[in-house]
Amino acid sequence: MIRGIRGATTVDENNEKLILEETEILLKEMIKENNLKAEQVASVLFSVTEDLTACFPAKAMRAVEGWKYVPVMCTREIPVPESLSLCVRVMMHVNTNTSQQEIKHVYLRNAVALRPDLAEIGKE
């Protein structure tokens, strides 16, 4: 079965180095918390708020050993007034037998505000 695993983080400014560093931290945490292997992942969708234009956050996937062949894509979030800024979101589509209730979604930094009910990892 394919399940979605969500993750999000924020950066302090529109800077390529910061975007890639924080995205890599997020990806590695999502992988660790859900005990994932690249072969399980059908695709990964990255989205950014409109204030992040310095780079494609999907480039951070290249820093994760063994994940070279996972299909990735980037898109822009809808610019909803008063929404969280400087935010990178990730949706992994994973082949797994894990139940929806057992999936560990990861929200870091200011992104914890997006889903405080699911952000147990970001609260630690």
Its pTM stands at: 0.92
Domain limits of the chain?
A: 2-123
pLDDT for residue 122: 42
Bridge partners of 73, per DSSP, are: 45
Residue range 71-117, pLDDT digits in tens: 999 999 999 999 999 999 999 999 999 999 999 999 999 999 888 78
Helix (H) or strand (E) holding 30: helix 16-33
Helix (H) or strand (E) holding 123: helix 120-123
Is residue 25's pLDDT more than 60?
yes
Active-site residue list: 6, 62, 74, 77, 89, 107, 115
User: DSSP code of 103?
Assistant: -
CA distance 71 to 102: 24
Class level of CATH domain 2-123: alpha beta
pLDDT for residue 55: 97
> Which candidate, 79, 99, 70, places its Cα nearest to that of 1?
99
pLDDT for residue 120: 61
